[in-house]
Amino acid sequence: MQYYSNAVLQYYCYTVIMDQKHTFVTVQSRGFIAIPVAIRRHFSLDQPGAQVEVIEREGEIVLRPHLAIPADQSWFWTKRWQKMELEADDAVAAGHTTVVNGVDELLVSLDS
């Protein structure tokens, strides 16, 4: 029985969905290859900082997508969210915050 990594399985599932059995790319003279746009988008490799891990094993070259920031956490690093983080830091530094010990105390502070 042959086992495949998650990235390989995701790739094969993706190619079946796209009605493709194989995708060929040309290896350029300096070793560069271009991953097709649809595959880059599917694995979020079109995002800033995206990387591909290259693994050699048993006569295969496996490309495993790797994002420096997991896709489900990328919202935190948007310009808008970072701006709000800075505003919150400024409010804390200026003393425009209230510290409470529990929900009941929070509700009392909101009523006053």
Q: Across all residues in the chain, what is the average pLDDT?
A: 81
For residue 51, the surrounding DSSP H or E stretch is strand 50-57
Domains of the chain from N-terminus onward: 6-67 (2.10.260.10), 78-111 (no CATH)
Most confident of 8-22, 41-55, 74-88: 74-88
pLDDT, one tens digit per residue, over 40-76 is 888 888 887 788 999 999 999 989 988 777 778 888 9
In single-letter form, the type of residue at position 40 comes to: R
Q: Whose CA is closest to 66, among 16, 14, 23, 5?
A: 5
Length of the chain: 112
Instruction: Judge whether residue 34 has pLDDT over 50.
Output: yes
What letter does residue 58 receive in the DSSP assignment?
Answer: T
Instruction: Write down the pTM of the prediction.
Output: 0.44
**Rounded Cα gap, residues 70 and 40, in angstroms:** 15
pLDDT of 43 = 86
